[in-house]
Amino acid sequence: MNIDKIRLFLLCIAWSTAIINVIFGQSALVLANAGVLSLSFFFVLTFSHLKKESITIIIILVVVAFFLLDQFPSFEDFLSAGRFTLVFAALLPTMTLVRSASLKVKSVKNSQDLLRNLPTSISTSGFQIASHFFGSVINTGTFSILSAALPENSDKNYRKTIAEACLRGMNTSATWSPFFVAFAVGQAFIDTTNSWIAMACGILVGILFNFVSLPVFANGSTLNKIKYSLACLSPVFPLLTLIMLSVLSVSVFFDFTALSAVVLVMPVLIVIYLLFNLKNFYEIYSNTKSWLLNSSDDITVICIAMLVGYLISRSNSINDYILLLESAFFPSWSLLALTPLIITVFSFMGIHPVITSTIALSLLTTAQTDIHPALLMQAHLVGWAAGTMSSVASLSVLTCSNLFQVESRKLAFGPNLLTAVIFSLSSGVLLSFVNSLIY
């Protein structure tokens, strides 16, 4: 048995125990602890396979932990943090499975055909809108679907324009979709009720962003052109609606977080799909297996970031930083207004939002500030969306670059750079204004 098979086996154990932990909680403590140990061994075997960027992020996280923790955590502290982190280890494998299955769904292929046949004059709006809706469920898997919908004779400029549109559409769906890691990170610090309020705010922010950006980038999009673009989604709209309603229903009915609901619901829906489409089983299995190993970096970074965030939020030394924050001359409205921009700018510098968001949420949710939790959650989501839209180190940009065959630096330092800055700053100001009406 080679190392990759062992890593895959360990990850699957962690994935399975995460689902058991979500369902049974404290009554399955032994299995949850076994999952934590399995995940730890996965990290050990994966470390030598990590990219330099991922190692850099982990080093930064360790340095942050060194300064913010008052003492070295005990073994029980690590176990507790590990149990908290387990569900994050299950999210990315779940989304990988969803991505693999989506490529075989007939309605998805029908939407691809409609996008492929869009007139050039409205293709930008069509791809941006499609990526926003696809991205809300399958995240970066969107780029696999939409890049395959490009006409075969597309030139470099056309591919770049469509790739930029897909990045704008997909990444801004992070402002409201519970299927993103960003939402899961936010729910680690914000309660469930305020998270759902933030989701409602995010839907409005997403609509507003597309309403403003489409006329700018899509050669004067009119309402009729947007309607024509939306028609491309008609084959998949019932499926996307079913998925969203299933996740929301399970979350509300069983009082689960959105993350827990996604991890539970999506595998069940895919099993139901496979019962009626057994011929697709092997291809979905093979793609999932392959992509799981390729996503080891993301799984490791996200899990370690959440582990560090959990330990920091329960450290006594964080109180010193909170007192410093409370004694500073920064009014609450400015902290809320600048949070999305700060996360975005650090992302441009190559520092993943999982670091800045974890630190910002740890501090701002613990400090006595007049910031509504739902608006803070939304500020974090906007910063994550804008930061990953145009960062040369962003998985979204790198994936899009590879599939659309456009240099990553051209995507990162193109028009989306200014778009991300304006989006994060204007959204922060808007959220701060709304917050001022509440407090």
Q: What contacts 279, CB < 8 A, 6 or more positions away?
A: none
Ramachandran region, residue 45 (left: φ > 0; alpha: ψ -120 to 50; beta: rest): alpha
DSSP string, 133-192: HHHHHHTTHHHHHHHTTS-TT--HHHHHHHHHHHHHHHHHGGGT-TTSHHHHHHHTTS-H
Distance of CA 107 to the CA centre of its chain: 24
pLDDT of residue 435: 93
Q: How many CB atoms lie within 10 A of CB 381?
A: 32
Instruction: Locate 26 and state its tokens.
Output: 């404290």
| Residue 178 buriedness (CB in 10 A; 0-12 / 13-18 / 19+) | buried
Helix, strand, coil percent content, the chain, rounded in steps of 5: 80, 0, 20
**Which pLDDT tens digits describe the chain residue by residue (439 residues)?**
588 899 999 999 999 999 999 898 888 889 999 999 999 999 999 988 888 878 887 888 888 888 878 788 888 989 998 998 898 888 888 888 888 888 888 888 888 888 888 777 788 888 999 999 998 988 887 888 888 788 777 788 889 999 999 999 999 999 999 988 899 889 888 998 999 999 999 999 999 999 889 888 876 556 777 777 788 888 988 988 898 899 889 988 888 888 788 889 999 999 999 999 999 999 999 989 888 888 888 888 888 888 887 887 777 766 666 556 555 567 778 889 999 999 999 888 877 787 788 888 888 887 777 899 999 999 999 999 999 998 876 778 878 887 888 888 888 888 999 999 999 999 999 999 999 998 7
| φ, ψ for residue 360, nearest 5 deg | -60, -45
What would the two tokens of residue 367 be?
């400090």
For the record, the structure tokens of 392 come out as: 């040369």
Q: What are the C-alpha distances in Å from 280 to residues 21, 109, 161, 271?
A: 30, 14, 33, 11
Question: What are the residue ranges spanned by the domains of the chain?
Answer: 3-438
Q: How far apart are alpha carbons 83 and 77 in whole angstroms?
A: 10
Judge whether 375 and 427 are in contact, CB under 8 Å: no
Per-residue pLDDT, 8: 92
**Number of other residues whose CB lies within 10 A of the CB of residue 429:** 16
Q: Does the global pTM surpass 0.85?
A: no
Roughly what angle, to the nearest 10 degrees, separates helices 415-438 and 156-172?
Answer: 20
* Predicted pLDDT of residue 422: 96
The answer to whether residues 68 and 315 touch, using CB atoms and an 8 Å cutoff, is: yes
